[in-house]
C-alpha cells in the first residue's frame, strides 16, 4: 500500500521483458543467473524516474533494445543505470554504468532542488519528509548567527535547507557518491555558506572536539595564516544528527559532549537506538526538551522521530517567587552546602564517612562560620577527637566542589 504505483508498474513490466529477452534472474544460493535486483527511484515533484538494474555479471544482452522496450512501455523513465555486483554479499549496489539518460534524477524538497544518484540516500516519503525537516529546523531555533554541523548529511538535504537561516553549515558524510551529489546540490541552489567533508561522522566529530581543545591550549596554528586545510574550528552552536538505524557510537556522542553545542537536533528512524543515545546525552548534561514523531511509513511499525536537546539554559524571563523566611530552616543555607550534602559528596567520591564534628572543625580551619556553640564539647575538660588528615582532605575537596573555599 505504501509503494509507489509507477515503480510497481515498471517492475511488473521488467518481469515480462525478462522472458522476452531470455534473461535469467540471479539465484543467491547457487550464484547462477544475471539480474539480481531492480531499484526504481522517482522524484515526487519532478516526476523523473531512475531504473537501476543490478546484474551478477557485466554484460546485459541486447541492452539497447532492452532499454528501448522498457521506455516504450514507460516513457516517464528518464535514466537507466547498470550496476554490477558479482560478489556474494548482502550489499545491493556496487560498480555502476549509465546506459541511458544522465545517471541521476532531481527532486525538490523544502524549496531546494536535489540531485539523487543511485547510491545516495533520499527519504522515500517526500511529503512527510518536508514536515520532518521543517520541524528539525524549527527546533534548531536559528537566527542567522549559528554555526551548524550536519552529521550524516547524505546528499546535504537538512544542511542546505537550513543554510539560509544560519551563518555557516559544516556537513559530513561517509558515502562518497552522496557527498558528490551534495556539492552539486549546493551549487545548483546557489548556496555558498556550506562546507562538505567526505569522512566518517564519528571520527570527524572527534577530530573537531580535539581541535577545539588544542585551540584552547593555544597549540593549534591559525589555519588561515598557515594556508593549510585543517579540521574546522571546534566552536559549534547546533548539531543536526540523522544517523542510520544503528544510531550513533559512543565516540560520536562523546565528541558532541566535548563540542558542547547549545542545541542538538536528533533525527532517528529507530526508537530503540534513539532511546539508547538519548540516555547517554542526558547523562552528560543535555536535556531532551521536545520530541515529535513523524509517520513516514504508514501501516508499518516504523516511525521517524525528531528530538530537541539543549544544555538546559534558563530562558531570560523574570520569575516572581514569594516565600516566608519565618517558615524556613536557615541551617540548610549555611555557607553553600548542608552537612548532609557534604557527607554524601565525601562518601560518594572517597568512600569515607565523616561526622558533623569533623566538618565543623575543618570549617573553622577554613574560616567558615559554623554557628554559635555548634558542636562544642559538653564540658571544659572533655577532649574532642580531631579530624584525621585523610578525611580533612576529603572535606576540603567537598568545600571546593560546593564553592565554599
List residues bridging with 109 in a β-sheet.
Answer: 112
**List 112, 153, 269, 387, catalytic entry:** 269
Angstrom CA distances, 116 to 179, 180, 346, stand at 11, 10, 58
- CB of 61 closer than 8 Å to CB of 23: yes
3-class SS letters over the chain: CCCCHHHHHHHHHHHHHHHHCCCCECCCCCCCCCEEEEEEEECCCCCCEEEEEEECCCCCCCHHHHHHHHHHHCCCEEEEEEEECCCCCCCCCCEEEEEECCCCEEEEECCEEEEECCCCCCCCCHHHHHHHHHHHHHHHCCCCCCEEEEECCCCCHHHHHHHHHCCEEEEEECCHHHHHHHHHHHHHCCCCCEEEEECCHHHHHHHHHHHHHHHHCCCCCCHHHHCCCCCCCCCCCEEEECCCCCCCCHHHHHHHHHHCCCEEEEEECCHHHHHHHHHHHHHCCCEEEEEEEECCCCCCCCCEEEEEEECCCCCCCCCCCCCCHHHCCHHHHHHHCCHHHHHHHHHHHHCCCCCHHHHHHHHHHCCCCCCCCCCCCCCCCCCCCCCCHHHHHHHHHHHHHCCCC
Residue 94 CB neighbour total at 10 angstroms: 14
Whether 269 is catalytic = yes
CA dist 405 and 383 (Å) reads: 28
Strands (E), 12-161: 35-42, 49-55, 77-84, 95-100, 105-109, 112-116, 147-151
Residues serving a catalytic function are: 269
Amino acid at each position: 500500500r505504501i509503494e509507489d504505483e509507477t515503480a510497481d508498474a515498471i517492475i511488473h513490466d521488467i518481469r515480462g521483458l525478462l522472458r522476452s529477452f531470455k534473461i535469467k534472474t540471479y539465484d543467491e544460493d547457487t550464484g547462477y543467473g544475471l539480474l539480481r535486483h531492480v531499484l526504481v527511484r522517482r522524484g515526487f515533484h519532478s516526476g523523473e524516474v531512475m531504473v537501476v538494474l543490478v546484474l551478477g555479471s557485466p554484460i546485459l544482452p541486447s541492452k539497447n533494445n532492452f532499454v528501448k522496450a522498457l521506455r516504450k512501455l514507460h516513457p516517464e523513465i528518464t535514466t537507466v543505470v547498470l550496476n554490477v555486483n558479482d560478489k556474494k554479499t548482502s550489499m545491493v549496489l556496487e560498480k555502476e554504468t549509465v546506459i541511458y539518460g544522465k545517471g541521476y534524477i532531481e527532486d525538490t524538497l523544502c524549496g531546494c532542488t536535489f540531485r539523487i544518484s543511485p547510491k545516495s540516500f533520499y527519504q522515500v516519503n517526500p511529503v512527510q519528509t518536508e514536515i520532518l525537516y521543517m520541524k528539525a529546523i524549527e527546533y534548531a531555533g536559528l537566527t542567522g548567527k549559528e554555526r551548524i554541523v550536519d552529521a550524516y548529511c547524505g546528499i546535504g538535504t537538512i544542511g542546505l535547507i537550513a543554510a539560509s537561516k544560519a551563518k555557516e553549515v559544516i556537513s559530513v558524510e561517509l558515502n562518497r557518491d552522496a557527498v558528490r551529489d551534495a556539492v552539486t546540490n549546493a551549487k545548483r541552489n546557489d548556496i555558498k555558506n556550506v562546507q562538505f567533508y567526505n569522512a566518517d561522522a564519528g571520527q570527524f566529530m572527534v577530530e573537531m572536539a580535539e581541535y577545539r581543545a588544542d585551540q584552547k591550549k593555544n597549540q593549534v596554528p591559525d589555519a588561515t595564516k598557515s594556508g593549510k586545510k585543517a579540521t574546522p574550528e571546534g566552536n559549534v552552536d547546533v548539531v543536526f544528527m540523522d544517523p542510520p538505524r544503528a544510531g550513533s557510537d559512543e565516540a560520536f556522542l562523546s565528541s558532541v559532549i566535548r563540542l558542547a553545542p547549545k542545541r542538538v537536533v536528533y533525527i532517528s528512524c529507530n526508537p530503540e537506538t534513539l532511546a539508547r543515545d538519548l540516555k547517554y546525552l542526558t547523562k552528560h548534561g543535555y536535556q531532551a526538551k521536545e520530541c515529535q514523531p513523524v509517520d513516514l511509513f504508514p501501516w508499518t511499525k516504523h516511525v521517524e522521530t525528531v528530538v530537541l536537546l539543549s544544555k538546559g539554559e534558563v530562558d531570560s524571563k523574570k520569575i516572581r517567587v514569594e516565600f516566608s523566611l519565618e517558615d524556613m530552616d536557615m541551617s540548610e543555607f549555611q555557607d553553600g552546602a548542608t552537612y548532609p550534602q557534604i557527607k554524601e559528596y565525601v562518601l560518594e567520591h572517597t568512600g569515607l564517612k565523616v561526622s558533623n564534628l569533623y566538618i565543623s572543625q575543618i570549617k573553622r580551619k577554613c574560616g567558615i562560620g559554623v554557628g554559635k556553640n555548634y558542636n562544642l564539647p559538653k564540658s571544659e575538660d572533655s577532649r574532642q577527637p580531631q579530624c584525621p588528615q585523610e578525611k580533612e582532605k576529603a572535606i576540603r575537596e567537598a568545600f571546593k566542589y560546593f564553592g565554599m573555599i
